Structure 1
Amino acid sequence: MSIIGSEHAEYQKASHKLVRIEQSGSSGVALLPQSIGSWYSARPFGRDTLNRISVLFLVTTLASCQAVPGEGPLASAILSDSGKSVEELHRDSATVYEVVNVDSKSADTILSYTNATLTRRFGFGGRQGSATIGVGDRLLVSIFEAGADGLFSTSKSKTAKITVVVQPDGQAAIPYVGEVKFAGLTLEQARQKILLSLKGKAVEPDVIVSNLDTASRDAVVTGAVKNASVVPLSLAGERLTDVIAKAGGPRGETYDTFVTVTRRNRSATISMSALVNSPSENIWIQPGDEITLVEDPRQFTVLGAVKKNRRQAFGSRDLSLIEAVGMSGGGKDIAADETGFFVFRYEEPGIAETLMGRAQYDTMLRKGMRPDENGRVPLVYRFDMSRPDSLLAGQKFPVKNRDIIYVSRHLSTDISKFFGIIGRPLRVANTGVTAIHRAADMSD
């Protein structure tokens, strides 16, 4: 049964509480609430009057269900607004979003992306096959000559040591050689280039080129670390956890710390605890990478037809949707719509595109779905808990930092509230009318 069909069925159940009022001596019939039916049954009404009362009451009931106090939107309202543009929603400031129905397959997809954030964005990488010289590197060039009276040798020493710094144009000057293009060369290639230039000038020369400082092979580590620093990368290569350790490690708890890696024009974020628990995410760091650690205690919020509406901390471990809802006491038995469990999230674009399909994803972008400052797009996940396998999907679905979990109330809740609102004053009025009738009978 669809969401709207389910709500209509519940309304029909609620309407069974209405009573049929027939007036003796007339053909008028009215369908009214039992709480007020006794008062109307005592009054003589004609067919037209009773029909008007019935129609007015039913129309007012349906219309007022949208105006009674509520705990957020109904499931039908969330589904109705999904996939619509700003123009279709008739609200200039509306957020355009799409709803994704979650089953075991989509839950596995989301989980696999969550556990492979860095490798999907950058690839696992590896050690560079051979390190090259870059701008800013400080080199020591040692030149040896066989004779005592050469360009660089003397009677006391046959070795000359020259320190050079590679300039922004990638070059550095060597005496009797001139400008040498070092940038992009390995140490051995630089050695051969200098040696070739000295042939015919020096006496049986030989050359050794070594690094004194590798400014071009640095990574920057900042944020919530004990010692923010520029970390030189060794020729053996460093992984992400290696450079974080060289910066003193995170200041706070690993489960409340997030790591963002920025490489040229791309970036990705992962929690420190996920990095520690997933070796595949411990990627090789490249020269120029920027690593930023942010301490942000993970929290999620549960709202709607649950026993406790509140913001909740994750604590030291990750949580699934079922666990998160359970921490708030679960859904209210008489109020929760079992087909309307939602998770509101700004999601990674790669996940959204995979779940929606490329064509639908492009359509939503054209309709005005806009990413936030981190490049994530608004997405709403829906669980139909009337299906038993949704409990298994919810057990695999990972809750993320700042997620909003919303459990929609059932339409029958609004109908019951409406009857409660109108029933109290009408019962008072009924009591007053009864008292007047009794007084009139006594006077007779």
Structure 2
Amino acid sequence: MTPTVALTVARYACLVLPLAALAAAALPGSAALAALRPGAPVPDPAQRRRRYGAALLSFVAAATGVAALDTVAQWLGWWSYAPVDAAWRGLPVDLWLGWALLWGPVPVLAHRVLRTPVALLLLLWLDLMAMPRLDPLVELGPHWRLGELAGIVAVALPAQLLGRWTARDRRLHPRALLQLVTFTGTALWLIPTTAFTYGDGSWDHLWRLPSPALPLLVQLMALVSVPALAAMREFAVRGHGTPYPWDPPKRLVTTGPYAYLANPMQLSASLLLLVLAVGAASATLAVAAVAAVAFSAALAAPHERADLDGRFGPAWRAYRTQVRDWVPRLRPLPQPAATVWLDRDCGPCTAVTRRLLDRQPANLVVAAAADHPEVLWRARYTGPDGHHARGTAAVARALEHTHLGWAYLGWLLLLPPVAWLAQQLTDAFIAAPHPARAQAAAARP
């Protein structure tokens, strides 16, 4: 077999075989297969959509992860490729897609018969057997097995957990975190890198910015990302779902950033790409950001509206008459009132109470902690949906009821690392946890 023929055969095998495995894994649970088996139950359409949606999500996670792994592998000399057409930064596209299919959707679709540890061991064995046989397409370095192990742990494992948890609707917060990592990697690394590779701009241009400019750019990107992060947290904490269309919130979310804007995540993502485009001097990436807005407005929005209208009906329609897609309100939309309980006998708490009232909070009752039926040791926030927050998180929730600027500060304070740090600093330097005095006195024997 000539080298050219060997390359062609290897490339076809890298894509055709994973596609065949995908088709085989997708058959169980399909309506067509159930129809061919008399007496077999017809799969529930919603469960089938969720299963296939989970497989698609795992493919995105695996594809982004494989691209990142390959970049590291070529830099460390784990492996490289023969020069071929249809390659992404040297990585043959058919090998990339086949690898992503095997590490993502194929085991996810077969999750009922293939447990995660078995799937990962099988994938590792398959890679160890296949990689040496892909010569001359793949040229292996002396430590290529280390790269395979790193890929299984850092790419295949997260892709499998994300897909399997999504398919089974389990472990909401960890899968939301994995979604965040996937979407961040895709939007802020894979898409910009592709734009720089086939258009203009570069990461080098970004890193070579003058010392004052680069830190400011990073801080600006961090600030722009806050509404998206807060919105994703709101989906998980109060909506019991995620932003992924096949894993949506089970409750209509109209709090947090959604009290001001209908599309906080899309707005943040578009602004992040634009800021990155300016820093990297990439008109191609700027066009991609504008195209993302156009896609969201023209294609994704009608489908999303139809889905939300079907699931939430009049409540969603009433909400959408009061908020816009891309331009936020200055004050939160009217909705049932929440309550924040603050200690009137605590100096810092009294100052917070006064400043909240000065800003005329909407949909918020500011009550004395001593009047709460329980003995409160920290500030308490209770939403109309039963959501609770304590300490600095309660104050952050109260800020959401005032004005867009203060609400933004509240969203920042609610992000997990910031929330933990803010609570520790408050306990140490401002006001340690203490019982509301009237209740504490009443509780004594």
Q: TM-score, normalised by structure 1?
A: 0.18
Q: TM-score, normalised by structure 2?
A: 0.18
Q: Which has the higher contact order (CA 8 A, sep 6+)?
A: 1
Higher strand share: 1
Higher helix share: 2
